[in-house]
Amino acid sequence: MAIQSIRLFGDPVLRTPAAPVVDFDKELRKLVKDLTDTMMDAPGAGLAAPQIGVGLRVFTYYVDDRLGHLINPDLDLSADLDEEGEEGCLSFPGLSFPTPRAIRAVAKGFDMHGEPVTIEGSDLMARCLQHETDHLDGILFIDRMDPKQRKLAMKAVREAEWSGLAAPTVRFSPHATGGRAL
Ligand SMILES: [Zn+2]
């Protein structure tokens, strides 16, 4: 097990676009293992490499008993949206908010051995694929909310116990919420 610290909102790494993976080597396989272990420990439904301070286009997911990872993802989204679905993020501990997302998504990319992979998902899986791919572009779920909802979310962020504590070494226990952390 190699559980890493999860970076919190306010850490600049979460706003930095990640670089495509070029070398499908032993280091990459270790990164996938670290992401998987850290996500399962949190526990979360998804985790992107920037959330553990690594600027590479890699994420892991654990949705509906499907555990996996994707490298250099490219997304194709349905036009129809789920406007009201609640979404959380491991970099915003204990908080979840309605966040509009496409209902269906197809993600194409690679596995850690460099083999092409296609993941198709709807509902939570589609939401996860969009949320994690956004992390690789430095985009956070608050950016996807409508302005009114974002204002409420930022108020909750400012009032959260972890607010302003974006030091890389800080970790928190997951709080009981109805939301799903990604
Ligand atoms: Zn997240």
Distance 166 CA to ligand 1 centre (A): 15
Q: Which of 84, 132, 159, 161 is catalytic?
A: 132
- CA-to-CA distance for 77 and 18, rounded, in angstroms? 21
- CA-to-CA distance for 142 and 159, rounded, in angstroms? 15
Distance 152 CA to ligand 1 centre (A): 18
Q: What are phi and psi of 65, to 5 degrees?
A: 65, 10
Q: pLDDT tens track of the chain, all 182 residues?
A: 689 999 999 999 999 999 999 999 999 999 999 999 999 999 999 999 999 999 999 999 999 999 999 999 999 999 999 999 999 999 999 999 999 999 999 999 999 999 999 999 999 999 999 999 999 999 999 999 999 999 999 999 999 989 877 654 444 545 444 456 77
Quick check: is 132 catalytic? yes
Choose among 43, 33, 32: nearest CA to 6.
43
Q: Are strands 81-82 and 101-102 parallel, antiparallel or unpaired?
A: antiparallel
> What DSSP string runs through 30-96?
HHHHHHHHHHHHTT-SEEEGGGGT--BSEEEEEETTEEEEEEEEEEEE-S-EESS-EEE-TTSTT-E
- CA-to-CA distance for 128 and 105, rounded, in angstroms? 9
Task: Name the pTM for this structure.
Answer: 0.90
Where is the binding site, in residues?
Answer: 89, 131, 135
pLDDT value at residue 167: 55
Which residues contact residue 57 at a Cβ distance below 8 angstroms, ignoring those fewer than 6 apart? 18, 19, 20, 21, 49, 71, 72, 73, 136
- CA-to-CA distance for 10 and 75, rounded, in angstroms? 26
pLDDT value at residue 177: 43
Distance 179 CA to ligand 1 centre (A): 12
Where is the binding site for Fe cation, in residues?
Answer: 89, 131, 135
pLDDT value at residue 112: 98
